[in-house]
Amino acid sequence: MSKDFDIQEYMTRGVERVVADAVRATLRNPKESAYMAKFAIASSAASKKRAKMEEAGEHVPPFLIASITSSCNLHCAGCYSRCNDATNDNEPVKQLSDEDWSKIFDEADDLGVSFILLAGGEPLLRRGVIEAAGKKQSILFPIFTNGTFMTEKYFDEFDKNRNLIPIMSIEGEQEATDRRRGEGVYEKLVSNMDELKRRGLIFGTSVTVTTDNLKEVSSESFISMMSEKGCKAVIFVEFVPVDENSEHLAPGDEDREYLKAEIMRLRREHPEMVFVSFPGDEKSSGGCIAAGRGFFHINSQGGAEPCPFSPYSDINVKETSLREAIKSKLFLELQSEGVLLDDHKGGCVLYEKRAQVQELAAV
């Protein structure tokens, strides 16, 4: 990595680009573009706040990922959250309360965090947390949902609070989606899209990219269909294996180069949509941006983890502040030891170096 690389500047530019793209993507929707224009101002103010803290020697990432529940109604094939036991069918215990999450959102706002991705389990099972997020209008909350709990009440909530952006998980067209997520899920997702479009609400999709569906989900036919349905954002999440049996599904270097080229093409040909790839090309960000460099993960019990794919923690936000969690010993050691910058085979350095991460968390 170049010594001149500035992670704060890189992430700030990234946030500004995403916001600018979102404003452009909603120009034909007055109510939506009015909110995005206000958020652009709030995002700029947050960026200045983070820059000021950076000058004082304190780094604050612009993104958080919050898994607000360990419950889910689906059993998707190869789910990393179930394999890590972060999601299960047992009665949730010791989960952060609605009030706990509300305090985290308040502190994130004070620190200048611009985006908080709500995940799970299935986040729409925590209505109280979703309502608390809706009140923080200066933060954009993409909600990564399987879509099966999207009812009239939630459509109304999204209509009232435009900072709540449903991002529905889909695997491609009907056969691929129902094969991984269960029969009838694709039909429900399409129905949700029709209702969201009817109401003039912005929404996106999240696609888990595997060696099986790579070409389908980046194809012109699939993306054009999503565009016609009103989808404004497609987030490509590269499959990260959690056991050796599924490693063949993880995109390799050639697959990732193919996806990168397709995303560049899609950005040119579909300016009405925003395309994001995660983890994407780490080279452009000087390495992995997890563990507090660009974001970190808070699990349903409050543990601050490098990433959802790296479920190790040495600090809990319920027992300390968000500000202190960002400076956790684990995060600082991952950064200082150069683990995030190490060469690795696939798209996720933290998965490949999981034994080392676990060892650092236990020390």
Helix then strand count (H, E) for the chain reads 15, 9
Given a cut of 50, whether residue 168 has pLDDT beyond it is yes
Percent of the chain with pLDDT over 90: 47
Q: State the Cα–Cα distance between residues 176 and 11, nearest whole angstrom.
A: 33
Which of 136, 65, 50 has its CA nearest to residue 291? 65
Q: What digits encode the pLDDT tens for the residues 3-19?
A: 444 555 655 665 666 67
What residue type is assigned to position 341 of the chain? Answer: L
Given a cut of 60, whether residue 80 has pLDDT beyond it is no
Q: What digits encode the pLDDT tens for the residues 270-304?
A: 888 888 887 764 555 667 788 888 889 999 999 99
- Mean pLDDT lowest among 81-90, 132-141, 164-173: 81-90
Which structure tokens are listed for 255?
């697959």
Strands 233-238, 141-145: pairing is unpaired
Which of 25, 64, 41, 21 has its CA nearest to residue 201? 25
Residue 8 in contact with residue 51, Cβ under 8 Å? Answer: yes
Length of the chain: 363
pTM to 2 decimal places: 0.88
| pLDDT value for 288 | 78
Which structure tokens are listed for 242?
């959690």
DSSP H/E element including 169: strand 164-169
Burial 106-117 (b: 16+ CB within 10 A, else e): eebbebbbbbbb
Which of 223, 243, 241, 242 has its CA nearest to residue 232? 223
| pLDDT value for 352 | 75
Question: What's the chain's average pLDDT?
Answer: 84
Q: State the Cα–Cα distance between residues 260 and 297, nearest whole angstrom.
A: 25
Q: What is the CATH number that goes with domain 7-362? A: 3.20.20.70
- Residue 205 pLDDT grade (very low, low, confident, very high; cuts 50, 70, 90): very high
Residue in the structure block whose two tokens are 């709500």: 118
Q: State the Cα–Cα distance between residues 224 and 30, nearest whole angstrom.
A: 23
Q: State the Cα–Cα distance between residues 121 and 125, nearest whole angstrom.
A: 9
